[in-house]
Amino acid sequence: MMETLEMAEKIAVDAARAAGDAARKLFRHGFAVQEKDASGDLLTEADLAAEEAILSRIRSTFPDHQIRSEESGWSGVEGDWLWLVDPLDGTNNFAIGLPVFGVSITLIYRQEPVLGVIYDTIQDDMYVARKGGGATCNGEPLHMRPKPASSKLTLGWIQGHQVQNDPPAVRLRRHIEAASKRMLRLWAPTMQWALLARGNLDGIVLYNSEGDDLYSGLLLVQEAGGLVLQFDGTPFTGMHSEPYIIACPPDRKERLMCLVNEGLESSGKEQV
């Protein structure tokens, strides 16, 4: 397994950089864009170019591994190993010229994330996390920095496309925003996970957002020293089709749990 992970990390880092380079070139020189579905979600030629850069590298090195990718869906035969690929996390930002987007690649072994690679395309920052092996940014160890005491928290909010304006989610989001110093919604989840892993955020609340961009961020935060919990306070492990997550530094756990519980009570939604 270690040999597989060593090779997988090299391939994932190379693939993420190639995908980022393809997206960055198109971002600066123009690209075609279309609506992907009735929700208004977008697809650009950068998504497709970045995806091809990643999938071609994975398939040539690990032909027996299954892949789930944002644009092309599932491929390969089900087995112990699964790659999750979001070639352009933040497509809607990309499409309107907002330089907040990246690449996410995760390797899953028997339903557990074991390798996560996130590439911040504009900042040229490469984040890598190995289960039990720590996290790095551009090859330097990444440890969640302790944050000074603050009367209000700076938090990130992530919700799934299917949530839309679900009333309990709206009430919880509004409660958190009203009680926070600032609540970020970047529409590029991996960029928020990277901010948390670096210690720039006090926490992230995720409401039912399972996707190809999720598990690289969770692993990065965990390996940088953060907590990843379900809404009921128990550790979040494995993969979940409908995740409800609180992620934060250990010293922010009680405050953030209290804030979310208050919001859930006001929204009438039971803990999940």
- Which tokens in the block code for residue 121? 């395309």
**Cα dihedral value 197, 198, 199, 204, nearest 10:** -40
- Which tokens in the block code for residue 236? 């979040």
Q: Residue 150: its pLDDT value, please?
A: 82
Each residue's pLDDT expressed in tens, for the chain with a length of 272 residues: 889 999 999 999 999 999 999 999 999 887 767 666 655 566 788 899 999 999 999 999 999 999 999 889 999 999 999 999 999 999 989 989 999 999 999 999 999 999 999 999 999 999 999 999 999 999 999 999 877 888 899 999 999 989 989 999 999 999 999 999 999 999 999 999 999 999 999 999 999 999 999 999 999 999 999 999 999 999 999 999 999 999 999 999 999 999 999 999 976 655 55
Roughly what angle, to the nearest 10 degrees, separates helices 253-267 and 167-179? 140
DSSP character at residue 138: T
Return binding residues for Mg(2+).
70, 86, 88-89, 213
- Which tokens in the block code for residue 184? 């970020």
Same fold, 2-141 and 154-267: no
Q: Residue 129: its pLDDT value, please?
A: 98
Return binding residues.
70, 86, 88-89, 213
**Model-wide pTM > 0.85:** yes
At the topology level, CATH places domain 2-141 in: Fructose-1,6-Bisphosphatase; Chain A, domain 1 (3.30.540)
Q: Taking Cα atoms as reference points, which of 200, 196, 205, 195 lies closest to residue 158?
A: 205
- Exposure of 224 by Cβ count < 10 A (0-12 exposed, 13-18 middle, 19+ buried)? buried
Q: In the chain, where are the structural domains located?
A: 2-141, 154-267
- Sheet containing strand 134-137, edge to edge, reads 73-75, 66-69, 81-89, 102-109, 112-120, 125-130, 134-137, 140-141
> Which residue's structure tokens are 């994975």?
58
- Its CATH architecture, for the domain 154-267, is 3-Layer(aba) Sandwich (3.40)
Q: How far is CA 14 from CA 55, 146, 157, in A?
A: 12, 31, 30
Neighbours of 5 (CB within 10 A): 17
